[in-house]
Chains A and B, each alone.
Chain A
Amino acid sequence: MDAQLETRDKATDRHDEDDAVSLKAQKAALPLYATRIKVYPRAVTGRWRTIKWTVLVLLLGLYYAVPWLRWDRGPGAPSQAILIDLDGRRGWFFDVVLWPQEVYFVTGALILAAFGLFFATSLFGRVWCGFTCPQTVWTDLFMLVERLIEGDRNERMRLDRAPMSPSKAVAKGLKHASWLVIAAVTGGAWVFYFVDAPSALVRIFNGTASYEIYFCIGLLTATTYTLAGWAREQVCTYMCPWPRFQSAMLDEQSLIVTYQKWRGEPRGKHKAGQSWEGRGDCVDCNLCVAVCPTGIDIRDGQQIECIGCSLCVDACNQTMSKVGRPAGLIRWDTLASQQAKEAGHNSGTTGMPWRPIRPRTLLYALLLAVAAIAMLVAFVLRTDTDLTVQRDRSPNYVRLSNGDIRNAYTVKILNKQQSAQQFELALDGLPAARLGFVGADGGFTVHPDTVGTFRVFVTVPADAAPSGSKPVQFSVRDGRGRVRASHEAVFVGPNR
């Protein structure tokens, strides 16, 4: 390592002495925005590519199929397993129905996802970026289409250099049309999470869907097409904040895709039959650069552009097996292990084992567990009945003709169940009180999945009325006499 540093320093020195003026000129001319150099990733096969295809099929399949899952909830309720009904203000997740006031479950899920991401990153580096991020998955899909239509890396580069011709126009037109179709299907699938999928599909095609639906499909078509077709690695490098702060989750014990410089250098072309003595295993075939979807050279070391997709691992292993050297010149490893190997390369020892259990991963696992337990407890304690009571403040109280004092309350009973419920209302804290209510005569019957609103009058004889306000508690009981919900309120009498 020292030797290398020395070489690099020497190189810089010489550069500085010889070309000081031109370097300054270069710096002055350095634009604020670096024009994108188009990346033409080459196709590759191998273990990691297979894993990536599998993940892609699973995730895209999940994304497109989930809105079509049906779930029988009886008449009057949607039959879509997962439906976020913005109009009806309900989130339907199989047998769980979330009301808007329970949006904290969504917050909790996002917190869980964040801690899960931190945890995975501290263990496996940019595994999210390289395998599961929608930007990566859709870009992979778009590149596949591009490759099927325009050919592999070299053919695409030739096609781009060639002047416009009918065959080029056909290829380009076909590619963009296919991209747009995929993008539109992506946008369409997104909409299906918010409306009933089968009926919405029909309405989208016969032109009777709402303006909002067409707008969402249009917007997501445009973003998918732009981000996966045109922007690609620029999203990861310039737009996405996650790569910038995920380095805080990584340490020298996190697994990352790395080039084993100690084994590969000094690199150079190698002819069959030549000796491997005194040189590194890297034959400078440049395949790792050609397959890289972000267009970097992994041999330059850790770079912010690297999304850890591991395609260079596959490419290098291909070459290594061809030239008859051991696989894994580019591999998943920890920085600590690499340093040990590099030191040991000279003294003869091997690398060090990966340490998945360390304070950082324990902390993330703990946070993950705490958040998960908190969510679970909140979910188990979640009630399907809720009660709110609002007292009329104008008039504050009413004196009846016989002198009794009466307060009026608006009582709302939330029935989150999928069947109508019959409730009894009780009042504690005011023994002399009589309850009466206006409205239907069937008692406190609340329809499925609705809020029942009732006006309740509490009347107290003049001599039993409190002076000023007195705390009371309303509660609702179900048919079996169990208290399902309660709410604090006050009863106000004239000041004496």
Chain B
Amino acid sequence: MPTKIEKDTLSGRDTTGHEWDGVKELNTPLPTWWVYTFYATIVFAIVYCVLYPAWPWATGHTRGLLGYTARSELTQQLAEQAKSRSVFVDRIRKASLADIRKDPELLSFAMAGGRSAFQNNCVPCHGAGGAGNIGFPNLADDDWMWGGSLDQIYKTIEHGIRNSDEASRQSMMPKFGVDGLLTGQQIGAVTDYVLSLSGKAKATPEGAAIFKDQCAACHQADGKGNQELGAPNLTDGIWLYGGSRDQIYQSIFFAHNGSMPAWTGRLDEATLKMLAIYVHSLGGGR
């Protein structure tokens, strides 16, 4: 206990009343505004602890009277966002793909939504901007295996290619080499014939004959392909599995038959439509 509080003559202030070997200390209280601010923070902390989650238990924590959780706040914000989007989403669901393209407002919403969905779902195979890769078609060029109109693109995204979806696009190229349908020499000849369609090699009569027998049913007699069957055009400069002689030889020997998942059921209808619009706009849409 302070025993001897006395007034310091020089400063006119009280001492603390303590004395250590003749040394006394002036009593310098904290500024009033500071002390009250400090009390206010204590009051705030108590109120906060009562209202909000604050104290950890061994198995959980205090919930607080307001029932606030960061997770429920996020859920609520997401719901609000979905609600604010729903006006456009509903309009997109109801409109036809052609109508969406004609309405600048819907088009710009669909482009933004399609771009976001594309980046989340399509980029792993088709690459950013739809650039594609060996085995994964470039979506920005003007060559389409299953058709490049809005409706055709929409169907491809909706049901996919060569998967278990009932409406999936289906076709099968025979494994000419693996299954022994053609000999290696015959495959070489037909490879040269295929290359000759784009002027890259000299065709032999043998190759032409094999092509007519084995390939023309799907790829057509002139090699221009058939989008109904997903049979690629062999006369242009675009090769899904590579356009060198070795790569074409392998394609005939092994028959790649790539597949793509069906997106209906994973993505809602409006998102599928926005994706179709976006993919169509990448550069090759017809």
| Chain A residues close to B by CB (< 8 Å) | 25, 28-29, 392-396, 398-403, 406, 408, 438-440, 455, 457, 462
Contacts and interface: CB of A to CB of B under 8 A. Distances in A.
B11 A29 contact: yes
Nearest to A441: B102
Contacts of A455: 281
A116 B284 CA distance: 59
A385 to B, nearest CB: 21
B138 A28 contact: no
For the residues of B in contact with A, the DSSP-based class is loop
20 contacts: A25-B10, A29-B10, A29-B11, A392-B129, A392-B140, A395-B127, A395-B129, A395-B130, A398-B140, A398-B141, A398-B284, A400-B143, A400-B238, A401-B141, A401-B237, A402-B236, A403-B236, A438-B281, A438-B283, A440-B104
A277 B241 CA distance: 115
A439 B281 CA distance: 9
A407 to B, nearest CB: 10
A401 B238 contact: yes
Interface of B: 10-12, 104, 107, 127-132, 138, 140-143, 233, 236-238, 281-285
A406 B237 contact: no
B11 A28 contact: yes
B237 A28 contact: no
A28 B142 CA distance: 89
Contacts of A402: 236-237
Contacts of B238: 399-401
Contacts of B107: 439
B277 to A, nearest CB: 11
Contact of B237 (A395, A403, A408, A440): A403
A455 B130 CA distance: 15
Contacts of A403: 236-237
B236 A408 contact: no
A323 to B, nearest CB: 44
A401 B236 contact: yes
Contacts of B128: 394
A178 to B, nearest CB: 27
The residue among A392, A398, A439 with the most chain B CB atoms within 10 A of its own CB is A398
Contacts of B282: 408
A395 B133 CA distance: 10
Nearest to B107: A439
B11 A394 contact: no
Given A396-B131, A398-B138, A401-B141, 10 more contacts: A394-B128, A395-B127, A395-B132, A398-B140, A399-B141, A400-B238, A401-B233, A408-B140, A439-B107, A440-B104
